[in-house]
């Protein structure tokens, strides 16, 4: 579908420069006019001026979706028609992909499509869970409640996701700093001392010779080392997107002791929170489990929930199926069992999710408290080795000079 760049004046009298996907130029103009824009300039994008499209950077995050749901509810409460709500949100939403999807949704709704159907046409923006919640709200006439619940859900996911991201980014930053420090020492500092030792004709200790050889190698092949590091990083990312890679990384995250704790608790929180919300929307247990599986991040949990759904459809109790998966902690299936016995499964799942949301914060702090000293110790080890390799020849020469004077 062609993409058109345009400059227009919005209903708030501000100039807007953006792009829109549309089958034709006339269709694009019509869409913009219905949205209340006064078009100043519009034309199809060429290869040279096409918007930079980096999917993983511009894809709406949980924070963007929470704001979208919150604003939708706020405007809807004022009695504004859905098409007008979408028009207003399309103008003020900062994320370009989300804003473009909202504008396209406005066009669909004005044609007579339901809100859920218009959202379903943008699966990369609106996940199946949000679409089903909206569909349920439209059927029950309580759309406001559906968006309010999804706002809470996205807020919780944002908090959990931010905690997990913090746990991953901080150690990575320390590792990068460590690598930079080592490269600078090996390519800048060590060579200066090597020149001194060479001029003095000193015999180098073994540890110094090893460091010197390493320094020479890094000076000569630093470009190759940089290429290898980049290839390994990009290769690791590409591998992680394959089925084998997802299983490998998922297995590793479940086996490393401290990381395992964070993986299990975050998966338990997401499982319980999502299932509770979907059951509250009126979906059946099997339909809810299908959507839960689609939302699980770790592929081992995704496959486990898929098996749980199949077992429940065969007549198994949910708590038994969860227990047999052997991936969730006892508290999860024990609370589910209580919920099934008391007839308040949704309520118990919500309490389970709240509990594990708090546990995720504790797991993150524990991971950070262990990773930081380990990385610092590694850095200290390499620095000490380099420093010793520099000072040992100097001490040896000093000792020899003292003996000569005596």
Contact indicator for 120, 95 with CB cutoff of 8 Å: no
Q: What pLDDT, on the 0 to 100 scale, is given for residue 128? A: 82
Contact indicator for 16, 37 with CB cutoff of 8 Å: yes
How do the residues of the chain divide into helix, strand and coil, expressed in percent and rounded to 5?
A: 75, 5, 20
What Rg value do the Cα atoms of the chain yield, rounded? Answer: 29
Contact indicator for 239, 326 with CB cutoff of 8 Å: no
Which residue shows structure tokens 């096409």?
Answer: 50
Q: How far is CA 217 from CA 154, 186, 220, 225, 278, in A?
A: 50, 10, 5, 10, 59
3-state secondary structure of 2: coil
Put simply, whether the predicted model's pTM sits higher than 0.95 gets the answer: no
Q: What pLDDT, on the 0 to 100 scale, is given for residue 400? A: 53
265-277 tens-digit pLDDT: 889 988 998 899 8
Contact indicator for 127, 62 with CB cutoff of 8 Å: no
Statement: 60-155 belongs to CATH 1.20.81.30: yes
Q: How far is CA 209 from CA 197, 212, 379, 384, 386, in A?
A: 11, 5, 20, 15, 11
Residues of the chain with pLDDT under 70: 1-2, 10-23, 34-36, 45-58, 163, 166-167, 197-203, 396-406
Q: In what order do the strands lie in the sheet with 38-44?
A: 15-21, 3-9, 38-44
114-158 tens-digit pLDDT: 898 888 888 888 888 888 888 888 888 888 888 888 888 888 777
CA-wise closest residue to 370 among 358, 362, 380, 381? 362
**At the topology level of CATH, where does 181-406 sit?**
Receptor-associated Protein (1.20.81)
Domain boundaries, given as residue ranges, for the chain:
3-44, 60-155, 181-406
Q: What pLDDT, on the 0 to 100 scale, is given for residue 324? A: 93
Sequence length of the chain is 406
Contact indicator for 24, 17 with CB cutoff of 8 Å: no
Q: What pLDDT, on the 0 to 100 scale, is given for residue 322? A: 92
């Amino acid at each position: 579908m062609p993409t058109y760049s345009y400059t227009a004046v919005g209903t708030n009298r501000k100039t807007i420069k953006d792009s829109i996907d549309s089958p034709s130029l006339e269709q694009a103009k019509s869409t913009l006019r219905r949205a209340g824009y006064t078009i100043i300039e519009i034309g199809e994008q060429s290869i040279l001026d096409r918007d930079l499209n980096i999917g993983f950077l511009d894809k709406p995050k949980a924070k963007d979706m929470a704001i979208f749901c919150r604003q939708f509810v706020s405007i809807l409460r004022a009695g504004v028609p859905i098409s007008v709500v979408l028009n207003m949100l399309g103008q003020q939403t900062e994320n370009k992909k989300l804003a473009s999807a909202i504008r396209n949704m406005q066009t669909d709704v004005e044609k007579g499509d339901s809100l859920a159907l218009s959202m379903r046409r943008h699966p990369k923006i609106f996940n199946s869970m949000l679409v089903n919640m909206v569909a349920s709200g439209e059927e029950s006439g309580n759309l406001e409640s559906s968006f309010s619940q999804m706002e809470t859900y996205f807020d919780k996911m944002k908090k959990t996701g931010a905690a997990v991201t913090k746990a991953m980014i901080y150690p990575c930053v320390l590792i990068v700093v460590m690598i930079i420090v080592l490269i600078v020492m090996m390519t800048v500092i060590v060579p200066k001392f090597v020149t001194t030792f060479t001029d003095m004709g000193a015999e180098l200790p073994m540890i110094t010779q090893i460091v010197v050889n390493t320094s020479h190698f890094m000076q000569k092949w630093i470009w190759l080392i940089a290429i290898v590091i980049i290839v390994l990083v990009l290769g690791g990312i590409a591998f992680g997107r394959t089925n084998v890679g997802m299983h490998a990384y998922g297995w590793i995250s479940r086996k490393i002791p401290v990381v395992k704790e964070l993986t299990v608790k975050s998966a338990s929180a997401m499982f319980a929170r999502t299932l509770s919300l979907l059951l509250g929307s009126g979906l059946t247990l099997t339909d809810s489990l299908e959507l839960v599986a689609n939302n699980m991040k770790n592929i081992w949990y995704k496959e486990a929930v898929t098996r749980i759904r199949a077992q429940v459809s065969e007549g198994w109790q949910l708590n038994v199926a969860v227990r047999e998966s052997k991936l969730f902690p006892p508290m999860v299936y024990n609370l589910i069992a209580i919920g099934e016995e008391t007839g308040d499964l949704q309520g118990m799942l919500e309490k389970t999710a709240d509990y594990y949301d708090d546990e995720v914060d504790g797991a993150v702090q524990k991971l950070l408290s262990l990773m930081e000293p380990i990385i610092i110790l590694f850095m200290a080890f390499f620095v000490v080795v380099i420093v010793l390799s520099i000072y040992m020849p100097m001490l040896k020469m000093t000792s020899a000079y003292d003996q000569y004077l005596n």
